[in-house]
Amino acid sequence: MGEVNVSGSQNHWSKNEMADQVVEMLHDGSSLNLGIGIPTLVAQRIPPEKGIWIHSENGVLGVAGRPTPESVSATLINAGKETISVKKGASFFDSAMSFGMIRGGHIDVCVLGGMQVDAEGSLANWMIPGKKVTGMGGAMDLVHGAKLVIVMLTHFSKRGDVKLLHRCTLPLTGKGVVHKIVTDLGVFTPTGESFQIDRLAPGVTEKQLGMTDTLLSSAS
């Protein structure tokens, strides 16, 4: 299954195009938490007129792009420890309040990166036993509470393994928590035993997904 190497194909979305898929799912005026990694690209792709309020779990609501060398501040960062700027109407708060916003269901959409995601909607993104531990950070909290949890990941690992599985094999971040998956090949909805294909990137065929037929179901 791992033999389809997407990087050799023209038929896939760029990371910015993946971000655009996420942007399409956002309602005007909604609040949005963006995880570390690919999800941070979403911030740059949102039209300002959508009036989205970006939350970063280290304690800010109203993230707005990047600072200039003049306006940069050591105390103004996002959860990826990158420098940011904020828009008018932003607010700062402590970590208990920040995670309460998430846990309490006040953040509409949460976008996370992932190592694996499965048909049950479970996500693995914090460790590879014996190889790598980054820690879960806020991810285990972020997957609970948001009305819409989106995972953004490349469809295949560098080794060529599909990251969309029947069941995750890596330690979970959350069980049955993911609503939508955006890869470079398509948008998917986990339905329990399989993934519903919501849409595919232009020119991509089901065969290219590297998934068995039983693991795939088309949108009804």
Partner 1 sequence: MTSKVFKDAEAALFDMKDGVSVMSGGFGLCGIPENSILEIRRRALKNLHAISNNIGNSGRGLAWLLKEKQISRATCSYVGGNPDLEAQMLANEIDVTLVPQGTFSERIRAAGMGIRAFYTPAGYGTEIAEGKESRAFDMPCLLELPLAADFAIIKAQKGDPYGNLWFKETARNFSPLMAMAAKVTIVEVEQLVELGEISPEDVHLPGVFVQRIYQGADYENTIEIPIFKDET
Closest approach, Cβ 98 to partner 1, in A, equals 8
Phi, psi (degrees; rounded to nearest 5) at 188:
-135, 155
Tokens 């329990």 identify what position? 192
State the sign of the Cα–Cα–Cα–Cα dihedral 13, 16, 20, 21.
positive
Q: Measure the CA–CA gap between 151 and 187, rounded to whole angstroms.
A: 10
Q: Which is nearer to partner 1, 50 or 199 (CB)?
A: 50
Residue number with CB closer to partner 1 (64 or 162): 64
24 catalytic? Reply is: no
| Among 120, 141, 171, CA closest to 33 | 141
Structure tokens at 37: 């990694």
Enumerate residues 71-110 that contact partner 1 by CB under 8 A: 72-77, 79-83, 86, 88-107
Among the options 57, 82, 120, 206, which is catalytic? 57
Interaction pattern, residues 133-172, with partner 1; x per rule: CB under 8 A? xxxxxxxxxx-xx-------------------------xx
Query: Are 42 and 111 spatial neighbours (Cβ–Cβ below 8 Å)?
Result: yes
Q: Which of residues 25-54 bind partner 1 (CB under 8 A)?
A: 28-29, 31, 41, 44, 49-51, 53
- Taking a C-beta distance cutoff of 8 angstroms, is the pair 176, 121 a contact? yes
Restricting to residues 181-220, name those near partner 1 by CB under 8 A.
Answer: none
Pick the closer one to partner 1 by CB: 91 or 212: 91
> What are the catalytic residues?
57
